[in-house]
Chain A
Amino acid sequence: QVTLRESGPALVKPTQTLTLTCTFSGFSLSTTGMCVSWIRQPPGKALEWLALIDWDDDKYYSTSLKTRLTISTDTSKNQVVLTMTNMDPVDTATYYCARTRWLQPGYYFEYWGQGTLVTVSS
């Protein structure tokens, strides 16, 4: 059974760095074709893809946010970490992680976590 769970602070201050952790089970990120992505949804707005890390440790980022994002993995802990620097109130959103399947070359989000709400406010 595949499960993913997001964790991190519910509240961060403007200019701070956000660190979110996705803890997963039921699959190995070392398996060819397996990836984990981060996606967010601001209140009342559309979903937005943020970043992806694949089985070969290749990393891909949203064009508009790539200067602020870092995705990494701790395979021994079955975790994927996303950091986002210089947080702003517009970054208030529910952040999801999702197991992602590579279709070579495309991919899709196969399983999702429940999401974690992050509010940016002083």
Chain B
Amino acid sequence: QTVVTQEPSFSVSPGGTVTLTCGLSSGSVSTSYYPSWYQLTPGQAPRTLISNTNTRSSGVPDRFSGSILGNKAALTIAGAQADDESHYYCVLYMGSGIVVFGGGTKLTVL
């Protein structure tokens, strides 16, 4: 069974830039996996950040961007702010109507 991998945790300084990645236990991520990214903050509904690799959702600031870096999907947050401290999840489309979530990355801003 294919596992979608994410860094368990990451830390960034306020104002800094961080890149979170989303990979596969076997193989490379490409645009054909339609990677999407979501922010999950306790007590709030999940927020959709990026779809289809690099399409920013309405209302998401342009300091959030998506891409393919090497063999992984990536979410880059520039100019990190305190309220970016959250959990971030990627989703990959596996075909036949099936998607798989990554394990999530806990981002700390300090």
Q: Point out residues on A near B: beta carbons under 8 Å.
A: 39, 41, 46-49, 52, 58, 60, 62-63, 96, 98, 101, 103, 105-115
A108 touches B89 (CB 8 A): no
User: B96 touching A108 by the CB < 8 A rule?
Assistant: no
Per-residue A-contact encoding for B65-98, CB less than 8 Å = 1, 0 else: 0000000000000000000000001010101111
Known: A106-B34, A107-B34. A49 touches B48 (CB 8 A): no
Are A108 and B51 closer than 8 Å at their CB atoms? yes
B93 CB contact (under 8 Å) in A41, A106, A113, A115 = A106
Cα separation A101 to B93 with both chains bound (whole Å): 13
> Which residues of B are in contact with A by a Cβ distance under 8 Å?
1, 32-34, 36, 38, 40, 45-48, 51-52, 57, 89, 91, 93, 95-104
Chain B residues with CB under 8 Å of A103's CB are: 34, 51-52
Chain B residue nearest in CB terms to A114: B45
Q: B8 CB to closest chain A CB, in angstroms?
A: 10
7 pairs of A and B residues whose beta carbons are closest in the complex: A106-B34, A60-B97, A106-B93, A108-B51, A108-B36, A47-B101, A112-B45
Q: Chain A residues near B51: list those with CB within 8 A.
A: 101, 103, 108, 110
Assembled-state Cα–Cα distance A115/B100 (Å): 19
**CB proximity of A64 to chain B, nearest CB, Å:** 8
Q: Which of B32, B36, B45 contacts A115 (CB under 8 A)?
A: B45
With a cutoff of 8 Å between Cβ atoms, the chain A residues found around residue B93 in the complex are 105-107
Q: Could you tell me the distance between the alpha carbons of A4 and B99 in the complex, rounded to whole angstroms?
A: 21
